[in-house]
Chains A and B, each alone.
Chain A
Amino acid sequence: MNPNRSEEILKELERKAKEKEETFFQHIANRLGRPRLHTPPIQPVRGVPSFWRQYHLDFEERISLFMANWENLGGVAKRFGCKEDLVTFIRNEAETMQAKKLIRWQHPVLEQLEIEKTLPKADVTIWKESNREQLLQKAAEADIGIVVADYAIAHTGTVVVLSGATKGRSVSLLPTALMAIIRTEDVKTKMGEVLAVIQKRNGPSMPAGIHFITGPSRSSDIENDLTIGVHGPGIVYALLLDE
């Protein structure tokens, strides 16, 4: 099929959708027995109960709750006082795992860590603007994917990553193991705080993908047996950095 025909089909679908749209909404209003609404309704209840808004943990409480939750889920949680210790840990783990291929975000924190230099024998791919197919292939083959969490949530033991040109979604998804580096100041008590900051920072234009990751990929679909690493990474590290 020529590309024009493909364009035509999509245009035709768009035309039909625009044509149908108002009838669709009007039908809803009719069923609800009132005229179509065009002004924002006032929400009697919006968001979480007030006792939950007031729930806040101290800095140290947040870190320890996050780490406890992450470990309960079957992940590895470690805290480092300086970059050097963190790099040493990553190198040791990569060597123990005999990781040959790694992939990481192009992120200021990771640039400073210089993981490539400490693992000279490994093939380390850096996710930046380039050929899509090639990046996907690299991510799919990688033993370890390394990202820097935008935020973390103590209450649920969750790492939050936002997508971008240098922050591929596949890096936290396709490799066998995931290492998420978390700056301790980015650990929040609860999800609401993270949602509010994301909205505030990004305004109306959200990143295409916001991913909340809570432990290793898992399934209980075969006779209720818990298996990890079904599609996503089965080995997950939360590496907290204090500086």
Chain B
Amino acid sequence: MGNLEPNSPLKERISLALNNEFLRNAVKFTTERLRKGKQTATDELGNWEEWRSYGQAIRMHTIAHLDYYLSQFVNNVRAAGGFVHFASTAREAVEIAMKIMEAKQAKSVVKSKSMVSEEVHINQALEEKGIEVVETDLGEYIIQLAGETPSHIIIPAIHKNKKQIAELLSQVAGEPLPADTAILAGFVRSKLREKFLSADIGITGCNFAIAESGSIVLFSNEGNARMVSTLPKTQITMMGMERIIPTWEDLEVMATLLPRAATGQKLTVYMSAITGPKRSEDGDGPEELHIIIIDNGRSNQLGDPEFQEVLNCIRCGACLNACPVYRHVGGHAYGWVYSGPIGAVLTPVLQAEKEKWGEVANASSLCGACYEACPVKIPLHDMLVYLRRRNVEQGTTKKREQWGMKVFQKVASSHKRYRLAIKAGRIGQKFVARKGEIKAKIGPLKKWTAHRTAPALAPRSFREMWQDLQQQQTQIELDPTIQKRMEEMLKKRGDQHESEQK
């Protein structure tokens, strides 16, 4: 979806998701499973907070010195016999990949899961040239058959049920397949086996790139990333330019954090470190390795104190599983390849046309659960606030909202106007308030009352009550010992408060 427009407005996407009961249950179940898995795995490991801090420190340092580490990586890839290409934009990345296709006269491509390739929309370009492209991660394969996009970074076909999957695969098989997981997975295994063995080119993503040796590291559970990087004669790896870590020692930290945060595993079934193409004497592995290093909006975050840390992300999806908003609406409501809290931040900052995407920042309750869940401690909730502020400053918020905020500021900043407004409200609510609640779905409260009741304004405000309360209080004679104790306590509390502020 390069720089395309979101296919429908955010509200429509959300209401679509909320009305799909299977999706809601599946998202809830999956996120709960992954979250619990993470909890168990991190408890079992111990010292999770310290591991997080180490992960954060390594990522921060790498990004702050990215030019050095990236160039070290590039030199080492070349020394190992690989090709490196640089793409500033999604379009450039696609152009480079298509040139390689042309040079290799490629007719078929197998792909292992790669978010960055979703981001640049390589599949579309390949299909336009008549090159067959097959997603080989089981979930990705299913949604490719359905013509959809991933709804979860780790479990992309979370929104499809077994029956729907059986129907999709039956079409491929040319015969009806039962809705049985083992049979369906077995069918995909044998179908994709043919594809792996006959494909001209394998495209992979890259979880980490090690600067000191020019190695790329891939994590997978099914083994498809290994297939794609072992069987075709040419391998293309697409990597976001921020995927770098300096050393092999740092890999141990990332390998400790990523699988536990993503699925609660101690390690994914496969972790592959690939350094250059196959050696001349090797019997398998790619003869040619091309690594395309992609910027596509990432460099705009560098040097920006509010957003640079978003480049620390290791794409584990833990923030999705923790997010109360994601857990209700799932990934498609976010409208682009990245969903959940990380998607709400990444989407507007990676897209050129910010005004079209900025509103996803509103799909957040700002509770901070994403930050708590993040294995490299990215302050996502702060970034969502910054994004909202930017939306306001750039005037991309809706006119009505802007006007509303101005009115509120006017009213709330003067006690006279505020009191007047409350009085007016109390008169107005007489028509709709019943037993202290407003249920009527009309007027300015409609958006709230459509889904829940609103509390009615109290007959007397606290301000009004205070005058009586104060009088009553002065009339009461306090026991002198209690009075003394209270004064001491107040004094102490005051001191404490001041020392906290220092």
Is B222 a contact partner of A32 (Cβ separation < 8 A)? Answer: no
Is B272 a contact partner of A217 (Cβ separation < 8 A)? Answer: no
Question: Which residue in A128, A192, A222 is a CB contact (below 8 Å) of B252?
Answer: A192
Is A156 a contact partner of B267 (Cβ separation < 8 A)? Answer: yes
Closest Cβ of chain B to A156, distance in Å, is 4
Is B303 a contact partner of A222 (Cβ separation < 8 A)? Answer: no
Question: Which residue in B50, B83, B192 is a CB contact (below 8 Å) of A14?
Answer: B83
Question: Which residue in B68, B277, B285 is a CB contact (below 8 Å) of A169?
Answer: B285
Complex A-B, nearest 4 residue pairs according to Cβ-Cβ distance, in ascending order: A232-B223, A47-B249, A221-B139, A31-B302
B423 within 8 A of A: no
Is B275 a contact partner of A129 (Cβ separation < 8 A)? Answer: no
Q: Known pairs A165-B282, A223-B161; list 14 more (Cβ under 8 Å).
A: A17-B83, A21-B71, A31-B302, A46-B58, A46-B249, A136-B231, A140-B197, A190-B252, A195-B248, A206-B273, A208-B276, A214-B270, A216-B269, A231-B227
A78 within 8 A of B: no
Q: Which residue of B lies closest to A233 (CB)?
A: B223
| Stretch of A36-44, A82-90, A114-122 at the chain-chain interface | A36-44
Q: Which residues of B contact A206 (CB under 8 A)?
A: 80, 213, 215, 273, 275
Q: Which residues of A contact B161 (CB under 8 A)?
A: 223
A220 within 8 A of B: yes
B422 within 8 A of A: no
A130 within 8 A of B: yes
A151 within 8 A of B: no
Chain B window 122-139, contacts with chain A (Cβ cutoff 8 Å), 1 for yes, 0 for no? 000000000000001111
| Stretch of A22-30, A94-102, A179-187 at the chain-chain interface | A22-30
| Stretch of A5-13, A56-64, A142-150 at the chain-chain interface | A5-13
| Stretch of B95-103, B199-207, B464-472 at the chain-chain interface | B95-103
B contact set with A: CB distance below 8 Å: 26, 29-30, 33, 47, 50-51, 54, 57-58, 61, 64-68, 70-72, 74, 79-80, 83-86, 88, 96, 99-100, 102-105, 136-139, 142, 155-157, 161-162, 165, 181-182, 184-185, 188-189, 192-193, 196-197, 213, 215, 221-224, 226-227, 229-231, 241, 246-253, 255-256, 265-279, 281-285, 293, 295, 299-300, 302-303
Q: Which residues of B contact A135 (CB under 8 A)?
A: 283-284
Q: Which residues of B contact A190 (CB under 8 A)?
A: 252
Closest Cβ of chain A to B476, distance in Å, is 58
Q: A1-B105, A28-B66, A41-B61 are in contact. Are A168 and B86 (CB under 8 A)?
A: no
Give Cα A220–Cα B264 distance, bound, in whole angstroms: 13
Chain A window 183-210, contacts with chain B (Cβ cutoff 8 Å), 1 for yes, 0 for no? 0000000111001101100001111111
Is A232 a contact partner of B162 (Cβ separation < 8 A)? Answer: no
Give Cα A2–Cα B142 distance, bound, in whole angstroms: 37
Closest Cβ of chain B to A136, distance in Å, is 6
Q: Which residues of A contact B241 (CB under 8 A)?
A: 28
Is A169 a contact partner of B248 (Cβ separation < 8 A)? Answer: no
CB-defined A-B contacts under 8 Å, sample of 12: A9-B99, A17-B84, A32-B302, A41-B68, A46-B247, A47-B250, A51-B47, A170-B230, A192-B252, A208-B285, A214-B270, A217-B222
Give Cα A12–Cα B196 distance, bound, in whole angstroms: 29
Which of B51, B213, B282 lies at the interface centre, i.e. has the most chain A CB atoms within 10 A of its CB? B282
Is B30 a contact partner of A224 (Cβ separation < 8 A)? Answer: yes
Q: Which residue of B lies closest to A13 (CB)?
A: B99
Is A214 a contact partner of B182 (Cβ separation < 8 A)? Answer: no
Q: Which residue of A lies closest to B50 (CB)?
A: A49
Is A227 a contact partner of B182 (Cβ separation < 8 A)? Answer: yes
Q: A222-B181, A224-B155, A227-B181 are in contact. Are A213 and B61 (CB under 8 A)?
A: no
Is B248 a contact partner of A199 (Cβ separation < 8 A)? Answer: yes
Closest Cβ of chain B to A230, distance in Å, is 4
Question: Which residue in A39, A40, A169 is a CB contact (below 8 Å) of B284?
Answer: A169
Q: Which residue of B lies closest to A35 (CB)?
A: B67
Give Cα A225–Cα B293 distance, bound, in whole angstroms: 35
Q: Which residues of A contact B284 (CB under 8 A)?
A: 132, 135-136, 139, 163, 168-170
Q: Which residues of B contact A128 (CB under 8 A)?
A: 283
Q: Which residue of B lies closest to A227 (CB)?
A: B185
Is B102 a contact partner of A231 (Cβ separation < 8 A)? Answer: no
Q: Which residues of B contact A51 (CB under 8 A)?
A: 47, 50
Is A217 a contact partner of B281 (Cβ separation < 8 A)? Answer: no
Q: Which residues of A contact B162 (CB under 8 A)?
A: 222-223, 225
Is A28 a contact partner of B302 (Cβ separation < 8 A)? Answer: yes
